[in-house]
Structure 1
Amino acid sequence: MSNPRDIFTQSDDFRTEQNDWLRLRTLILLRWTAIFGQLAALAVATQYFALQLPLGLCFLAIGLAIIANLLAVFIFPANKRLSEGEAMLTLVFDLAQLGFLLFLTGGLTNPFALLILAPVIVSATALRLRSTIVLGILAAGIVTLIAVKNLPLRYRDGSDFAIPELFAFGFWIALLIGIGFLSVYSRRISSEMRSMSDALLATQMALAREQKLTDLGGVIAAAAHELGTPLATIKLVSTELIDELSDQPDLAEDVLLIRDQADRCRDILRSMGKAGKDDLHMRQGLLSAVLREAAEPHLDRGKTVHFSVTAAAQSGLREPEILRRPELIHGLRNLVQNAVDFARDRVWIDAHYSDSRLRILIVDDGPGYPSQVIGRIGDPFVRSRRDPRDLSRPGYEGMGLGLFIAKTLLERTGAELSFANGSDPFLQPEERPERSGAIVEVVWPNAVIIAESRAGLGLNQVIEP
């Protein structure tokens, strides 16, 4: 079975290797947009509002941005991806250029001062926390500087454009709060999106691995099925030859060796066949058999696992056969693993079926889910289930990714999952019921999980090389 911790490590390594996700082309396009906007703002301010601006210095600031863009276009390839340091320096340049332009055009009396937030938000979305903190401090410093010191806006008649001091102070405070709030907000959203992306990647890896194991089991089962007849023929003929060659010990010994090797081939195929059962006739199985198959890797870990399969009262149904899909096997296996991990002594796996639905309960006698995380069960990277002072399982990474994979895969099969505790966690040990730990309920409509009749399955399909 694939371990969720191993899958998490692989996805985490993948994410670490891909820190240079921010393309230079993206920042270049954003800067061109800013340049055209700055030029348009200068034109409107001087021609329509009749403001006097130091156009020479303003064009110098805009020209520096144009030169930086042209150098980036001609020096670096179109598919250049920026490292952490390169992206940070690019955003620092944009902050400095915008701050200098705002200094020349009235400071915080210029409504476009709001754009000082843009580089910080880009950093919060795409860069690490350290870079975002540096850019946030720099942006706050620039805002404070241009609020105190700037070249005021003047009309053509020489009068200054002024705003009330209370408004200027409020705008300064709003920009500082905006830098902090929007940075935290953007970073939280992007972090959750990256976490979900990594978790989905790990889920796909888990499903792909389970599918490979299932396919391998199908090859083995098909080989065992197809080779069974020729091996039986070899054994039968060799047995007859041994009787006929009783007066030729040398030849009889060779034929005996052939029969023994045929038996050995049969035993090898039989043992290998236990690794998987996915030929056409084994793509479905009895509910109890599938549950045992899913739990099998955790049955010898020192905890007692109880199985029960019951039917609804007066339903008259016999035990159903369900589809042995890789998602179902891997999802149930992760749930059983989590239960065995935290159980004290026992785990119960109860299946109940009726005319309309199949319900599976997985319960343990452990401490249950902490109240502070039970509402987030099934989200990726929930790290804690029990008291962190409990060192009975040192080195355990947490339960978030494994349960997320299980929940995602089982929901792909049409299941609905719910998580609860078997008792109040504040009860004394002697007051707790036998099934006092975590409870996972998995429910399917019969239409999506119950297999059709085996009649007419046909021949095994040819496996193309």
Structure 2
Amino acid sequence: MTQPTIRPLGERKRANWIRLRTMILLRWVAIAGQFIAVTITPMLFGLQLELGWCYFAISVSVIGNLVAGFVFPENKRLSERQNMAMIIFDLLQLSILLFLTGGLNNPFTLLLLGPVTISATALSMRSTIVLCAVAIISVTVLAFYHLPLQTLEGAILQIPQLFVFGQWIALIIAVIFTSAYSRRVTSEIHLMSDALAATQMALAREQKLTDLGGVVAAAAHELGTPLATIKLASAELVNELRDQPDLQEDAELIVQQTNRCRDILRDMGRAGKDDLHMRQAPLATVIESAAEPHMDRGKHVFISLESSDGNDSAQPAILRMPEIIHGLRNLVQNAVDFAESTVWIEARWTDANITVRILDDGKGFPPQFLGRLGDPFVARRRPRKTATPRPEYEGMGLGLFIAKTLLERSGASLRFANGSDEGGKHSKHVGAVIEVRWPRREIDAREGDNALPAGQNVRFSEI
């Protein structure tokens, strides 16, 4: 069963999500703060400022905000270039104000980190690098060129040159570190968001297929009796109409079409034909449903079941959950893709746990990836049919993440490992081992927290 291709959203597409209204509101907050600082500082601290030029720099931002607010609709989404242009404008406007108010001697130089942080969280890597470069150039210019801060008596307020140099170095390091840190965290959040969205899509698809299988199985059950009656009556008509070839031909056609309807319903309802309650099945049936799409792909897939208690207890019936089927299917697909020739699926159960182990005779997981398996979008691995031998497993990202997320959602815990089979059953096996373990009470359909009620099936409208 093929799965839809799901690609993460690109950086540039995310950058187009920012509304112009959001940037305008943020700029109004910055304008208010700048106006208050420029107006109150001379009165409180007795400083001489170039108020005319300061108010001119602030008014440029005011005009830009008013034009943007009147010309464009409130729900306009900015493109990445427009976002970058607005942030560069704010960065340069703030740099001009700092130039007029003492340069790096002004403690408000830390505000230069604001636009850089916004770019690192909202824009692409290229735009972030451009804005970091603009910020570093601005800080460097302010370190050498600025109007001094003077008191009303004419005294110049400035910190020692050594501290100016330290401020310059600290700001450059802060620009780089803040951008890298924000960028890394935002990328992780975006990757996880994309992977969870893909998981929800896969689960919804599996749920639809499961529901469809249940409906078809119920239809096959309900239509079985009338189809059998039609077949029986039409077969009798065939025998009774031997003397009337035309009518007999019509009766034979009815028999053929009845058999065809029976075969179609049997094929469509195959997944649910042994599932009386549609929501439960023997453990072996669930494993076979998960592995079935990959049984005929040129590799030997062996399924074994045994009780770990040593008392030959009966095979458990478990919940037929889409999370379990789709999660196990992804793990089996991974094993079949990279096995040399054989995949083993071992199911064991005790009174407390149900365990499924998936083993292959490939080269195993690369040791450096074992701690990262299950994270979304790990680097892809080469297919087995490449001309050169593959050095390690690649492509362990979204598929394993979906499998791990879905199985953990059903109450399972997963373990990834390498090494030979401890039981000695496959002495030559040195490949990958994936163990999935559930507390039995989580998925047991007869006992435990999620046990299904016993009794006859009910109509779907009554569930």
CA–CA separation in structure 1 for the residues paired with 2:12 and 2:42: 49
Select the residue among 226, 239, 242 that pairs with 1:243.
Answer: 239
Q: 1:210 aligns with which of 182, 206, 209?
A: 206
The aligned counterpart of 1:107 is 103
Among 442, 449, 455, which residue is 1:448 paired with?
442
Query: Is 1:221–1:278's contact at 8 Å kept on the other side of the alignment?
Result: no
Distance 1:457 1:166 in 2: 86
C-alpha deviation, 1:241, in angstroms: 2.3
Deviation at 1:160, TM superposition (A): 0.4
Superposition map of 1:332-371 within 5 A: 332-371=328-367
Q: TM-score, normalised by structure 2?
A: 0.92
- 2:377 pairs, out of 374, 381, 391, with 381
Confirm or deny: 8 A CA contact 1:281 1:454 kept in the other structure.
Answer: no
- The alpha-carbon distance between structure 1 residues 93 and 16, as it changes in their structure 2 partners (threshold 3 A), is closer
Cα displacement (A) at 1:2: 4.0
* 2:361 aligned partner, one-letter code: D
Mapped to 2, the partners of 1:413 and 1:153 lie a distance apart of 65
Quote the offset at 1:397 in angstroms. 7.4
- Using the alignment, how far apart are the partners of 1:29 and 1:437 within structure 2? 57
> For residue 183 of structure 1, what is the aligned residue in structure 2?
179
Q: Distance in 2 between matches of 1:393 and 1:229?
A: 56
CA drift at 1:249: 3.1
**Of 28, 31, 36, which aligns to 1:32?**
28
Bigger drift between 131-140 and 207-216 goes to 207-216
Contact 2:103 2:109 in 1 (8 A): yes
The one-letter code of the counterpart of 2:205 is: R
Structure 2, unmatched stretches of 5+, are 447-451
**Is structure 2 residue 60 aligned with structure 1 residue 60?**
no
Query: C-alpha distance in 1, partners of 2:387/2:36?
Result: 63
Structure 1 residues 400-438: Cα deviation after superposition (integer angstroms, max 9, x where no partner)? 0000000011111011111111259xxxxxxx9522111
Aligned residues: 452
Shift of 1:368: 1.1
Provide the rounded CA distance (Å) in 1 between the counterparts of 2:453 and 2:241. Answer: 46
Alignment of 1:248-397 (within 5 A): 248-274=244-270, 281-315=277-311, 317-384=313-380, 391=388
Q: Following TM superposition, by how much is the alpha carbon of 1:92 offset from its aligned partner in structure 2, in angstroms?
A: 0.7
Given that 1:368 and 1:386 are in contact with CA atoms closer than 8 Å, whether structure 2 keeps it comes out as no
**In the alignment, what sits opposite 1:429?**
none
Secondary structure in 1 matching 2:235: helix
Under a length normalisation based on structure 1, what TM-score does the superposition of the two structures give? Answer: 0.92
Deviates more, 1:377-386 or 1:162-171: 377-386
Which secondary structure does the structure 1 equivalent of 2:343 belong to? strand
CA gap 1:123/1:457 in 2 versus in 1, 3 angstroms: farther
- SS of 2:434's equivalent in the other structure is strand
Larger RCO, structure (CA 8 Å, separation 6 or more) = 1
* Whole-angstrom CA distance in 2 between matches of 1:255 and 1:73: 78
C-alpha distance in 1 between matches for 2:259 and 2:355: 43
Farther off after superposition, 231-240 or 271-280: 271-280
Displacement of 1:281 in angstroms is 2.2
Contact 1:95 1:119 in 2 (8 A): yes
Q: Deviations over 1:176-206 (max 9, x none)?
A: 0011111011111111111111111111111
Deviation at 1:444, TM superposition (A): 0.6
Give 1:8's aligned residue.
6
The offset of 1:222, in angstroms, is: 1.9
How far apart are residue 29 of structure 1 and its match? 1.5
Moved more, 442-451 or 100-109: 442-451
**Who is 2:449 aligned against?**
none
**Alignment deviations for residues 209-264 of structure 1 (CA, whole Å, 9 cap, x no partner):** 11121122122212211111111111111122233333333322322221121111
**Cα distance in 2, alignment partners of residues 405 and 43 from structure 1:** 57
The alignment partner of 1:355 has SS state of coil
Separation in 1, partners of 2:27, 2:313: 69
Change (3 A) 1:278 1:324: farther
Amino acid of the structure 2 residue aligned with 1:300 = D
- Among 99, 120, 127, which residue is 1:124 paired with? 120
The equivalent residue for 1:232 is 228
- Counterparts in 2 of 1:161 and 1:69: CA distance versus 1, 3 Å: same
Distance 2:462 2:17 in 1: 40
Letter in 2 for 1:80: K
Give the C-alpha shift of residue 146 in structure 1: 0.7
Show CA shifts across 1:58-79 (max 9, x none).
Answer: 0001111111111111111111
* Aligned: 1:172 with 2:168: yes
Q: Which amino acid aligns with 1:458?
A: N
CA contact (8 A) 1:328 1:413 kept: yes
Structure 1 residue matching 2:5: 3-state secondary structure: helix
Percentage of matched positions with identical amino acids: 58
Query: Which deviates the most, 163-172 or 402-411?
Result: 163-172
**Separation in structure 2 between the aligned mates of residue 148 and residue 278 of structure 1, nearest angstrom:** 82
Q: CA RMSD in A?
A: 2.5
